[in-house]
Structure 1
Amino acid sequence: MIIDLAACDIVFLSFDEPNADSNFGKLSSHHPRARRVHGVKGFDAAHRKAGEISTTKHVVTVDADNVVIDQEFLSGNFEIAPRDAVSVFSFSARNVLNGLEYGNGGVKIWPRDVLLALRTHENAGRAEAAVDFCWTVPYYQVNRVLSEVHMTATPAQAFRGGFREGVKFNLADGVLAYDAHPGLPRAEALPKHIGGANYERLRVWCTVGADAQNGDWAIFGARLGCVMTALEGFDTSKVADYAWFSDFWSDDVFPKFADADVRQRRQKELGVLLNEELDLRLADLDAAGSAFFKSAYRGRRAYGPMRVV
C-alpha cells in the first residue's frame, strides 16, 4: 500500500511554544499546503482538530518545537503493509538538547479516522491513555530521523519538556513500574518495566544538556519529574494539563529556583536521591561533558509496532 505524502494534508500543532511561528514559517516555505492548529487546549483536542480541518485519508502532523530536516520525504511516497493501514507512523526526531533520537516530538502520519476518534490525555476514557497516545492507539515506530526538536528556547519550555519525559519514562503501557511490580524494589522495578532503551533515555534526560541554552532547566525538570513520580505519588495525568503546568511553573518552580545556584544545588540533590532510590547512576556533567557525550553517543533504535489494539 502506497501513501502519497505529497497529496496528504500537513498540520502544524502549536500552543504557546516560543519558536512556533519561526518553525511554521520554515515548514510552510517548503510545503505551502501546511495548515496550522494553534491555541487549542489539550493534546487530544488539538489532534482531533487536526483531523477535523483535514480532508485527506492520511494526515501528517508536525509539533511546534520541530524543524523538519528531511523535507523531500514529505513530498514522496511511503509504502506500508496493508495490515498497518490503521496504524500511526511515528518517525524519530533528534533532540538537540541531549542527542536522543526516538519518537518523542517526531513527525507522525495518522489515518484521519484515528485522529477523529481519539480519546486520550484530557479526554481519556481509560487511565493508560491519559499521558501518551502510543499506549492506546496502534503505533508503528519508524527509525528514520525526519526532524530536530528544539525545546529549550525559554526556561519554561525547557523545564516543561524535561519534566514530562521524567514523568513518562516511569511508565509503560500507561502503567507505573511500581504498580506493575509492587513486590520488587523500585530500582529493580523500573528497568524491568520500561525496558533497556527507555531506561537509558531517562538517564540521558536527567544528565545531558548543560551545553544547550536553558539546558540546565530541562535536566532539572527531568529529575524533578522522575522524583515526584517515582517517590512522591505524583498524578501523571497532570502532564497533559496545560493550566496545571502553567500554575506549577509560575507558582512553585520559577519563584523557588530562578537563581542558578539554588537550582544547581537542588538538581544535585535530586540526582543523589535518584541514585540512592532508583540506582540511576546519574552524573553531573558540565557543558564540555554534555557536548562530548552528544558527539559520541549512538542510541538504541526502535522499529516496528509499539502497540497493537
Structure 2
Amino acid sequence: MTNINEFDVFYISYDEPKKEEFWADLLNKVPWAKRVDGVKGFDNAHKACATASETNHFITIDGDNIINENLFDEEIEINNTNKNCVFSWAGKNIVNGLVYGNGGIKLWNREFVLSMKTHENSNDQAHQVDFCWYTNYIQMNNVYSSVHVNQSEYHAFRAGFREGVKMTLLSGIKPEKNVLLSNQIFWKNYNRLVIWCSVGSDVEYGLWSIYGARLGLYMLMCSDWNYTQIRDYDWMDYFFQNSIKSKIKSDENLIREINLLEEKLKEDLHV
C-alpha cells in the first residue's frame, strides 16, 4: 500500500476566474503541489504534468476544484494489474449536486499518460472528447473535492454544454437519432444528463449550465455539427461570445431559450 501523499500533485488551470484563489487554497493544504497553467489541449496539459512528474504516478486536480485534504490520509494499492488504470475520486458539482468523475481528482500512471493519444492528439473518433473511453477507470468510493463550474456565465455554460454532449455519447460515438436515448445511453449517464439539463436554477449562473447542457444535447443529436469541437476552448469561447451572448441579453431571454429547447428536445428526441 502506498500513501497518497507520496505522489506528485499537479494543479491544472487554464482560464478559470478563481484559479489563483483555488491555487492558494491548494498550496495551504498540499505545499508540495506543482502547477500546469495555460496549456492548450486536454491531452497536452496532462502530458505536461507527466513530463514534470518525479513519481511514477501523479495526481491531477482541475482548476475549478477545491479539495478536501483528507484525501492525503488515504492509501492505495498499485500492482501490475491496475498500474495503467486511472484512479478517480468523484467531485461534487456545486450547481446541480451531481457526484461522479467529472472534474474530480485523478491518479495517473506517468508512462501511460506520455504514450496516450486523446482529445487533440487522438487518431480515432472515439477518444477525441474525453479520457474515459481510452483507459480503464477505477472509481474510488470517497468524494474529496467540490467542483465549481459556475465561476461566470461562460464557464457555467461551457461546463453544461460539454457534459450535454459527453453524457449522450456511446463510448465516444454519436448515438442514433431514431432510437430513444434512454434505450441507448448507459443508465447512469442518462440520469446525469437529465440532471444537467434541469437542475441548478437556484444557484448563481446555474441557468447557464442548464441551457448549455440542453443546447449541447440538441446540437449533437439534431444537427450535423462537429461535436469534437467541445475539446477546443478557443472554439468554445468564440461560439459563446458570437452565437450565444449576442442573442441572450437578459435572464428573461435565457429562460425563454431554455424553454424553447425543452420543446425542441421533446419534439425531435422525445425526451
Q: Same fold (TM over 0.5)?
A: yes
Aligned to 1:225: 216
The alpha carbon displacement at 1:94 in A equals 0.7
Contact 1:102-1:143 at 8 Å conserved across structures: no
Write the distance in 2 (CA, Å) between the matches of 1:32 and 1:274.
Answer: 47
Give the aligned partner of residue 194 of structure 1: 185
Quote the offset at 1:142 in angstroms. Answer: 1.9
Equivalent residue in structure 1 for 2:95, among 94, 97, 100:
97
The whole-number CA distance in structure 1 between the counterparts of 2:74 and 2:252 is 50
Show the counterpart of 2:38: 39
Q: Which residue of 2 aligns with 1:253?
A: 244
What SS is found at the alignment partner of 2:245? Answer: helix
Q: Which residue of 1 aligns with 2:145?
A: 147
Counterpart code for 1:203: V
Alignment of 1:284-295 (within 5 A): none
1:209 counterpart residue number: 200
Runs of 4+ in 1 over 3 A off after TM superposition: none
Residue equivalent to 2:268? 277
Once the two structures are superposed, the pairs formed by residues 23-38 of structure 1 within 5 Å of their partners are 23-38=22-37
Q: Secondary structure at the match of 1:261?
A: helix
State the SS of the aligned residue for 1:105: strand
Q: 1: distance between equivalents of 2:45 and 2:189?
A: 26
Offset at 1:251?
A: 1.0
2:120 aligned to 114, 119, 122, which one?
122
Q: What is the CA distance between 1:84 and its match in structure 2?
A: 1.1
- Distance (Å, rounded) in 2 between the aligned partners of 1:94 and 1:173: 23
1:256 shift after superposition: 0.9
Q: How far off is 1:93 after superposition?
A: 0.8
User: Which residue of structure 2 aligns with residue 19 of structure 1?
Assistant: 18
Is the Cα contact below 8 Å between 2:161 and 2:212 reproduced in 1?
yes
Q: Which residue of 1 aligns with 2:155?
A: 157
1:170 Cα offset (Å)? 1.5
Query: 1:92·1:101 contact (CA, 8 Å) conserved in 2?
Result: yes
Listed as ranges, the gaps of 5+ residues in structure 1 are: 281-309
Q: Give the whole-Å Cα distance in 2 for the aligned partners of 1:41 and 1:95.
A: 24
* Cα distance in 1 for residues equivalent to 2:107 and 2:190: 26
TM-score (norm. length: structure 2): 0.96
Aligned equivalent of 1:60? 59
Distance in 2 of aligned mates of 1:86 and 1:100: 27
Q: Paired residues, what number?
A: 271
Aligned in 2, Cα 1:75/1:32: closer, same or farther, shift over 3 Å?
A: farther
Please say if residues 122 and 128 of structure 2, whose CA atoms lie closer than 8 Å, have aligned partners that are also in contact: yes
Structure 2 counterpart of 1:225, which letter? G
What amino acid does structure 2 have at the position aligned with 1:56?
A: T
Question: Looking at both structures, which has the greater relative contact order when contacts are Cα pairs under 8 Å and sequence separation is at least 6?
Answer: 1
Counterpart of 2:104 in 1: which secondary structure?
coil
SS at match of 1:107: strand
CA separation in 2, counterparts of 1:24 and 1:249?
26
Q: What percentage of residue pairs aligned between the two structures are identical? A: 37
Q: State the alpha-carbon separation in 1 of the partners of residues 125 and 184 from structure 2.
A: 17
- Distance in 1, matches of 2:215 and 2:104, equals 24
| 2:11 counterpart SS class | strand
Q: Which amino acid aligns with 1:245?
A: M
Q: Is the 1:28–1:34 Cα contact (8 Å) retained in structure 2? A: yes
TM score, norm. by length of structure 1: 0.85
Distance 1:264 1:134 in 2: 33
Alpha-carbon distance, 1:106 to partner = 0.4
CA offsets, 1:10-58, max 9 Å, x none?
A: 0000000111111111111011010010000011100100101111011
Distance (Å, rounded) in 2 between the aligned partners of 1:274 and 1:192: 16
Aligned to 1:134, which of 127, 132, 135?
Answer: 132
Distance in 2, matches of 1:173 and 1:152, equals: 27
1:9 lines up with 2:38 in the alignment: no
Amino acid at match of 1:157: H
